[in-house]
Amino acid sequence: MNSLEVFFLDLDFSWTLSKITPYLIPIILGAIISVLIMNKIKKRGWFKLSTILISFILPFAVYFSFFPIYEGDFSNLGITPKTTIEFAEQKSLTVVVLPNCPYCYQSIVLMKKLKERNPQIIINYWISTSDSLPPKSAILKVIPKNFTSIQKYNTAEISALVKGAFPCFILSEKRKPIKLWNNNQFGVCALDEIEEFFKSLQKI
């Protein structure tokens, strides 16, 4: 997330609109500049046409060069998994991570923003490891206190559930998984779906 996306999220835009709007702004800006140039340069010709075209494209091109759109940014390709692993009884979002996975650490920033927008959402972190983690291990230190963090030792079952992809995001209810996304499938559309899933819970 960049600062513009965070700004629109704080204005209570959806995750999808917060992602799209910063790309629309330079397009609108380019259109305004192009109209001003079109009215300013009276003489017709290739110079005027190319100047208008560059003016229209340039603001978007500059923004896109700093914040490109990646394949998974708008993804929502989750699946309904089959597993014998039990989840919480109440509606919850479980993030399955490894202790030393950099992408797993990045997920915490995203989940903190999700929780900030939706205090009623229950977020659990399952740390898949066959070894006991010391209380001051890095992953345990950065998981917020309003998240539940649990060490899970049934690594073979968890790996089969997430198909070896970490982090993994799992919506569940009544101890059963409803939907699962791996990190490449988990875009802004998935975040909007999660917020919709928890809407029935009263905000606190």
The reported pLDDT for the residue numbered 204 is 45
The model's pLDDT over 122-181, given as tens digits with 9 standing for 90+, comes to 999 999 988 877 666 788 889 999 999 888 888 899 999 999 899 999 999 999 999 999
Based on the domain organization, do 100 and 44 belong to the same domain?
A: no
The angle formed by the CA atoms of residues 32, 33 and 38, to the nearest 5 degrees, is 100
Residue 177, in any domain of the structure: yes
Q: Over 80: is that where the pLDDT of 202 sits? A: no
Residue 190, in any domain of the structure: yes
Alpha helices, DSSP H, located in the chain: 3-10, 15-40, 46-66, 102-117, 138-142, 155-162, 188-197
Token pair of 16 as six digits: 């999808």
59's CB contacts (< 8 A; 6+ apart) are 26, 27, 29, 30, 33
Residue 36, in any domain of the structure: yes
The amino acid that residue 148 corresponds to is T
Q: Over 70: is that where the pLDDT of 55 sits? A: yes
Based on the domain organization, do 133 and 183 belong to the same domain?
A: yes
Query: In the predicted model, what is the mean pLDDT of the chain?
Result: 90
pTM: 0.86
**Which domain range does residue 8 map to?**
3-66
Based on the domain organization, do 36 and 109 belong to the same domain?
A: no
Residue 172, in any domain of the structure: yes
User: Total domain count for the chain?
Assistant: 2
The reported pLDDT for the residue numbered 135 is 62
